[in-house]
Amino acid sequence: MSLISKFLHKVIRQGVLTIVYPDGTQEQFGTPKADWPQATLRFHHRRAYAAILRDPALGLAESYMNGDVSIDHDRVLDVISLYRRNTRWEARGGTAPTAMKKVMTSIRRKLHQINDPSKSKANVAHHYDLSNDFYRLWLDPDMQYSCAYWPDMTLQPNGSPVSAVSLEEAQLAKKAHIAAKLDLRPGQRVLEIGSGWGGMALYLNRVADVDVLGITLSEEQLKLARARAEAAGVSDRVKFELIDYRDLAARAPGQFDRIVSIGMFEHVGVPQFETFFRCVAQLMTAQGVMLLHTIGRMGGPGLTDAFTRKYIFPGGYIPALSEIVAASEPFRLIAADVENLRLHYGLTLWHWYQRAEAHRAQIIEMYDEKFYRLWLYYLAGAMTSFEAGSMCNYQIQYVRDRRTLPMTRDYIAAREAAYLRMEGQGGQDEAG
């Protein structure tokens, strides 16, 4: 029995995974269970064994991308789900890391995350400067590339999240949820760190009558964001710049009443966490409010896996809540509210995965088969990490003065409902 076979017999207990070896022999792992995946993984070359044993996630991804293994009907989500659901993060035993492991992890993180301004721009370009037309295929029309908010989410018997609302409605709800937490007032100056394709900045201006500066390091996103502001006739109030947050802090201290950052903190890197919060504190007014929306790591600090680091987000790192709070404390930023959107990103990624799968032919035409498989593997792995792994999504609201916001959270729901009513009457801005 091979090492891979021994491993799978130990891990795959529920659901069914069938392995077909290069000589045509088959082996089955697990037992059938209602609502659990059944998948077939075919090995076409023996070198895939060694690749997977060296690093299961990276080895399987590269073997799948290169054609050394295939998955019947390209159901890569089923294969990864079988592993994740049989090894749920909550069910694993926890042990405190040794002093040596802490030291080695710290060293490896620093080596992986040397995100000075020039390196940060290159890392952003690696992912976000892919064709805007590619992202249009599977994102919502507003091109929100971060966790949506599903206000009616319930759980299926197998524990998977489900919602009756569309991806478009859930992304609109996310924008309203964030805007409400910012406690906006007409005429305020808002900074968005990591402004993407401009959808959030345009939304805040539209519903709250605020002036917004969005900053990004992606040239492709910048072009589209500026074009959208121009098309909406608000380029005098919603502006976008290609600038690093560190450079802006030196140029514009104390100029922003509100700061929002959505899906950008994952690219900062642990060595720059304190620098990020120092800059945030410098940029905010004394009565300022910030909303940080970031993927988070439940449990303690860790490392970015080799697949993500190599192919998806070079220089990126998903922070533990303890790391975020510790980095913000020296600058007297008060965490006024913390919300964990536990399964919301898993459902968001499920929608993205379905849409990418539906546009297989277009993605292959834009790039190639290998790229399509890479992206499918990425979306499947990300989705399952939120449903059964250690990933979550944090929204952390910061203030500099404890008296800045109302003393109870009631205002959030009230403001959110008002914003949603406004958009129900006025429609949703579309990209392009």
The verdict on 58 and 194 lying in the same domain is: no
Domain assignment present for 432: no
Residues 82 and 123 in one domain: no
Is the domain of 61 the same as that of 132?
Answer: no
Residue 306 forms part of a structural domain: yes
How far is the C-alpha of 102 from the C-alpha of 82, rounded, in Å? Answer: 30
Residue 92 counted as domain residue: no
Residue pair 246/264 in contact by the 8 Å Cβ criterion? no
Has residue 104 been placed in a domain? no
Distance CA 20, CA 18 (A): 7
pTM here?
0.90
Per-residue DSSP letters for 146-166? Answer: S----TT-EE-TTS-EE-SS-
- Tokens 């792994």 belong to 389
Could you tell me the CATH number of the domain that includes residue 419?
3.40.50.150
Q: Residue 408 falls within a domain, yes or no? A: yes
Q: Are residues 134 and 184 in the same domain?
A: yes
In a domain, 102, yes or no: no
pLDDT value for 119: 59
Cα 3 versus chain centre, distance: 33
Q: Phi first, then psi: what are they for 414, rounded to 5°?
A: -65, -45
**Residue 329 DSSP label:** G
Measured between alpha carbons, how far is 58 from 304 in angstroms, rounded to an integer?
Answer: 12
pLDDT at 266: 95
Are 419 and 180 within 8 A, CB to CB? Answer: yes
Q: Which domain holds residue 19?
A: 3-87
- Distance, in Å, from the CA atom of 376 to the CA atom of 161, rounded to the nearest integer, reads 20
Cα(204)–Cα(249) distance, integer angstroms: 22
261 and 398 assigned to the same domain: yes
For residues 78 and 192, state if they share a domain: no
DSSP secondary structure, 82-95, as one string? HHHHHT-GGGS---
* Residues 108, 404: Cα–Cα separation, whole Å: 40
Sign of the alpha-carbon torsion through 195, 200, 204, 206:
positive
Number of domains in the chain: 2
CB 180 within 8 A of CB 258: no
Beta strands (DSSP E) in 330-370 are: 334-340
Domain boundary residue, one of 87, 108, 140: 87
Chain Cα centroid distance, residue 253? 29
pLDDT value at position 131? 86
Per-residue confidence in pLDDT tens, the chain, 432 aa: 488 889 899 999 999 999 999 999 999 999 999 889 999 999 999 899 889 988 988 999 999 999 999 999 989 999 999 999 999 999 876 566 666 555 555 555 555 556 566 556 566 555 656 789 999 999 999 999 999 999 999 999 888 999 999 999 999 999 999 999 999 999 999 999 999 999 999 999 999 999 999 999 999 999 999 999 999 999 999 999 999 999 999 999 999 999 999 999 999 999 999 999 999 999 999 999 999 999 999 998 999 999 988 898 888 899 999 999 999 999 999 999 999 999 999 999 999 999 999 999 999 999 999 999 999 999 999 999 999 999 999 999 999 999 999 999 999 999 999 999 998 744 444 443
Closest CA to 385 of 312, 294, 296: 296
Coil/strand/helix, residue 359: coil
Distinct helix (H) and strand (E) counts, the chain: 18, 13
Tell me which residue of 323, 264, 290, 296 sits closest to 393, measured CA to CA: 296
- Of 68, 87, 106, the residue at which a domain comes to its end is 87
Let me know whether 241 and 381 are in one domain.
yes
Residue 279, C-beta contacts closer than 8 angstroms, at least 6 positions apart: 245, 246, 248, 249
Separation CA 388–CA 381 (nearest Å) = 10
Statement to judge: residues 71 and 131 lie in one domain: no
Residue 97 forms part of a structural domain: no
Residues 315 and 379 in one domain: yes
Task: Say what the pLDDT of residue 136 is.
Answer: 96
Residues in the chain: 432
Q: Are residues 64 and 148 in the same domain?
A: no
The DSSP secondary-structure symbol of 73 reads: G
Asked if residue 161 lies in contact with residue 154, where contact means CB atoms within 8 angstroms, the answer is yes
Check whether residue 251 and residue 395 sit in a common domain.
yes
Same domain for 155 and 204? yes
Structural domain includes residue 259:
yes
Among residues 41, 72, 87, which one ends one of the domains? 87
